[in-house]
Amino acid sequence: MSNEIQFKAKENTSVLYLLFTTNTRKGTEMQNHYTPKGKHLTMDNRRLIERWKNENMSNRKIAGLLGKAPQTINNEVKRGTTLQQVRKGLYKKVYSADYAQTVYQTNRKRSVKKIILTKEMKEKILHYAKQKFSPEMMVKKKKMKVGISTIYYWFHNGHLGLTKADMLYPRKGKSVKKQASPNFKPAGKSIEDRPEVINLRLENGHYEIDTVLLTRVKNHCLLVLTDRRSRHQIIRLLPNKTTESVNQALEGILREHHILSITADNGTEFSRLAEVFPEERIYYAHPYSSWERGTNENHNRLIRRWLPKGTKKTTLKEVAFIENWINNYPKKCLDYKSPSEFLMGG
């Protein structure tokens, strides 16, 4: 290679390096003043802009101090400038942080795209509502392209043609909190003695037990067991709420399911569980402390979607359907998997 060619090659390389470093430096400078998407000016930013504009500071210098692009500050000052009275009959244009914030909030409201309730979307919502799906599950599990709060808005404002009777959990007034007698004695081992492996939901097989009444009159009721970890549900129809009926049903359940422990309340129907299940693995909650069996109580609400209070009767077939529905219903606490999916996944 001749000396002339070598010189030209070096010269070209130097030019390219100079161009590269210059562009990189410019890119870095631009990046320092780049306003990332979603990083809007705050009220504190606007207070600072107002103060600095009153000190006659330039928009470019303000942009540098706030780490924003100069054009961002130019646009902000333009939008936030309003007429203020200096004295009677004399006005001047000034930047106002309060006025700018009001303009910003108004523009944000206008920028939200309104979702129209189409016929197809309404039919889908009503379809899942009949299957007792909550708005959250419609969105998270069934992938409906609408906000959860929007579905609630449509429901409460009559756009879906549903009534209060169609609500999954109608609101009710506050009840008077009951207190246990100071002479109260638990039916067995206290929940305070329950091991951490149960409290922390570290393994399957630890169930909470409860009964669900259909009506206040002496009639059929449900025996319900809920696994603390997987939320697997076992439901049996009982002819009445007696210890004999509960123990008989539990004996049948124990032949079908592997249960490691049971947590119960102090109802008389659970006072003789030790006759059919090891006493050392039965734990009793404190009286009037339903939150200590929260898993059970929350899942009883799912049963109420199908059998609301006042239901006079039900059938074994209907109870089996409800049990299967609950075990295949997605749960937020299981990352929107159903108990059946969770147990299959380990």
331, 339 contact by CB (below 8 A): yes
The answer to whether residue 3 sits within a structural domain is: no
Whether residues 228 and 131 fall in one domain: no
pLDDT of residue 84: 80
Q: How many residues does the chain have?
A: 346
The answer to whether residue 149 sits within a structural domain is: yes
**Domain harbouring 303, CATH code:** 3.30.420.10
Whether residues 93 and 127 fall in one domain: no
Range of the domain at 155: 119-165
Among 74, 92, 111, residue at a domain's last position:
111
Q: What element of type H or E holds 302?
A: helix 294-306
pLDDT of residue 60: 93
Quote the tokens at residue 188.
């067995």
Whether residues 212 and 321 fall in one domain: yes
Whether residues 137 and 238 fall in one domain: no
pLDDT of residue 223: 95
pLDDT in single tens digits along all 346 residues of the chain: 444 444 444 444 444 444 434 444 444 444 444 555 557 899 999 999 999 999 999 999 999 999 999 999 999 999 999 888 777 778 888 999 999 999 898 887 776 566 788 889 889 999 988 888 988 889 888 888 888 888 888 888 888 888 766 777 655 555 555 555 555 566 788 899 999 999 999 999 999 999 998 887 767 899 999 999 999 999 999 999 999 999 999 999 999 999 999 999 988 999 999 999 999 999 998 887 777 888 888 888 899 889 988 888 889 999 999 999 999 999 988 999 999 999 998 5
Whether residues 65 and 209 fall in one domain: no
What global pTM score does this model have? 0.57
Whether residues 86 and 195 fall in one domain: no
Among 89, 111, 133, residue at a domain's last position:
111
Cα distance between residue 143 and residue 230, in whole Å: 23
**Domain harbouring 91, CATH code:** 1.10.10
Q: Please tell me the total count of domains within the chain.
A: 3
The answer to whether residue 38 sits within a structural domain is: no
The answer to whether residue 253 sits within a structural domain is: yes
Cα distance between residue 340 and residue 238, in whole Å: 25
The answer to whether residue 14 sits within a structural domain is: no
Whether residues 223 and 287 fall in one domain: yes
48, 66 contact by CB (below 8 A): yes
The answer to whether residue 5 sits within a structural domain is: no
Distances (CA, A) of 137 to 132, 202, 299, 324: 10, 26, 15, 17
Whether residues 128 and 153 fall in one domain: yes
The answer to whether residue 151 sits within a structural domain is: yes
Whether residues 107 and 125 fall in one domain: no
Among 71, 94, 111, residue at a domain's last position:
111
Q: What is the gyration radius of the CA atoms in the chain, in angstroms?
A: 33
pLDDT of residue 6: 47
Whether residues 235 and 315 fall in one domain: yes
Q: How many CB atoms lie within 10 A of CB 241?
A: 19
Which residues are 207's β-sheet partners? 227, 262
Q: What is the pLDDT of residues 8-19, one digit of tens each?
A: 444 444 444 444
Whether residues 227 and 258 fall in one domain: yes
The answer to whether the Cα torsion of 28, 30, 31, 33 is positive or negative is positive
The answer to whether residue 31 sits within a structural domain is: no
Whether residues 270 and 321 fall in one domain: yes
